[in-house]
Structure 1
């Protein structure tokens, strides 16, 4: 590895023999060093972050303004999220998470508490991502001496959700959580409280709603391929179809257009299963 740029005394941008860029962290790794200096492998023993995304400049700026300890914590959180969720996360997560952690520490230092308005929704409908947030909070409290609560876990979970969806805009996760909660309440209200929240069919319906909202936000709703099948599903259970229609009406209010016939049919089928 050779240094390409010194970010601070503990962080450098380096390249290998294949001209691939990496961010290397180690105590004193950049102290007194210049571009072109060769680094031994034992000089970057804290964190090793490959750079292969379009947010390199943002990432370099964030890292240069962060302590090596906080960068290491961010890396541990991302590694834990990748392993526990078993999915590839957007490279933009490095920037958004590190910036969020720095801001969270500043808030904590000044005693500023921000309540997450969709805490319950994220905890309930994104339980795996929320568990990553819980891990992150525990790690922060242990390593930084903070006293973050589960509220902060839901904030971090929002970044993980967006990274799964390829977005670096935290508002998407918050918006999705609010809408999912509202749709679930619409369905539960129509059943007049007669739904077992832990029933497998109801849980499958929630998963379907999550993916539906992701498709809507991405402007990628399923299109209707067979009007005949749609008509059969509609006639099979009029009550389920009417509930699905109420969901579609709500979607139109939030996004400006209702569900496509294909999405309406799939929602009807999910609601039909809840009652079984």
Structure 2
């Protein structure tokens, strides 16, 4: 394979057939020049991007990032693939490297972001959350810095979203329509207009997006926590009444029943967003 461009001592862009790919290995491009050959035995990892724009973006990131960042990304994705028993696209290396670079910069400036999705990710995507926790441990060990566990949620979402990207266009349209319909049920039940810039509204919509994705995939989760469910029903009777309307809608649209856990989380999110809107 002939070198097209050298990004640093460890990374280069090479020609493979009519395509350009990125190759990585310790010292693979050291003292080499464009036009020279690199053998497959010299390469530790290849990255194949499906568009020229992505290739340019990844190339820029690799040219301006530290080698240990890429090594961390390689470790995290290898762990994630083993945990989920799947192979990810090379696009995840790009997005995760970008995320990691930004995260470490924020941590060094003591800028921390609390994820609004901690409940959902821990509860409904425990394996993905374990990947996030592993990533946090790698960051702390490699960079010798304190990385908050909220970052585990943010990193887990990269793996969750990657799986959701495999949905076909019809599923995406159905998901958007379903979220819209459920929001309409809430809006007309409580006779309110949403503040679409509020954190409670954003939390609700995000929860609905993941909820609908699970419905479309028939991925049902229920821990039978009936006591908590009963408490929330008693505390927020109007939210429970609204959820019963959503239950009928879900039954008709998906031939599926709401589980205790889904019902509980919907009541909590609906109570938060409607209480805030009513006060306003």
Could you tell me how far apart the structure 1 residues matched to 2:38 and 2:89 are?
29
Q: Is the 1:119–1:154 Cα contact (8 Å) retained in structure 2?
A: yes
Q: Distance in 2 between matches of 1:105 and 1:123?
A: 23
Cα 1:59–1:260 change in 2 (3 A) is farther
Task: Name the counterpart of 1:199.
Answer: none
2:43 is the alignment partner of 1:53: no
User: How far did 1:89 drift?
Assistant: 2.8
Pairwise CA distance, 1:211: 7.2
Are 2:4 and 1:13 aligned? no
- Aligned-residue CA RMSD in angstroms? 3.7
Take 1:267 and 1:243, find their aligned partners in 2: how far apart are those partners? Answer: 15
1:85–1:128 Cα contact (<8 Å) kept: yes
Task: Identify if the C-alpha distance between structure 1 residues 245 and 56 changes in structure 2 by more than 3 Å, giving closer, same or farther.
Answer: farther
What does 1:145-160 align with in structure 2 at a 5 Å threshold?
145-160=144-159
Whether 1:266 aligns to 2:263 is no
CA contact (8 A) 1:122 1:154 kept: yes
CA distance in 1, matches of 2:86, 2:47: 17
1:62 matched residue in structure 2: 61
TM-aligned CA deviation for residue 137 of structure 1: 0.9
Please list every run of at least 4 consecutive aligned residues from structure 1 whose deviation after the TM superposition is greater than 6 angstroms. none
- Give me the whole-angstrom Cα distance separating, in 1, the residues matched to 2:111 and 2:164: 30
Stretches of structure 2 that go unaligned for 5 or more consecutive residues are 167-171, 187-207, 219-240, 264-280
**Residue-by-residue CA offset, 1:123-142 (whole Å, 9 max, x unaligned):** 12110000000111111111
Deviation at 1:161, TM superposition (A): 0.7
Count matched residues.
Answer: 202
The separation in 2 between residues aligned to 1:267 and 1:146, in whole angstroms, is: 45
Map 1:67-146 → 2, pairs under 5 A: 67-146=66-145
Report deviation, 1:12.
0.3
How far apart in 1 are the matches of 2:98 and 2:113?
A: 16
Give the structure-1-normalised TM-score.
0.61
Question: Contact (CA 8 Å) 1:90, 1:166: kept in 2 or not?
Answer: no
CA contact (8 A) 2:49 2:91 kept: no
Deviation by residue 1:156-189 (Cα, 9 ceiling, x = unmatched): 111111111128xxxx9xxx9xx9xx9xxx9xxx
* Contiguous gaps of at least 5 residues in structure 1: 187-208, 223-241, 250-257
Residue-by-residue CA offset, 1:176-235 (whole Å, 9 max, x unaligned): 9xx9xx9xxx9xxxxxxxxxxxxxxxxxxxxxx98751178xxx799xxxxxxxxxxxxx
2:209 & 2:127 partners in 1: Cα distance? Answer: 13
Distance in 2 (CA, whole Å) between partners of 1:61 and 1:50 is: 14
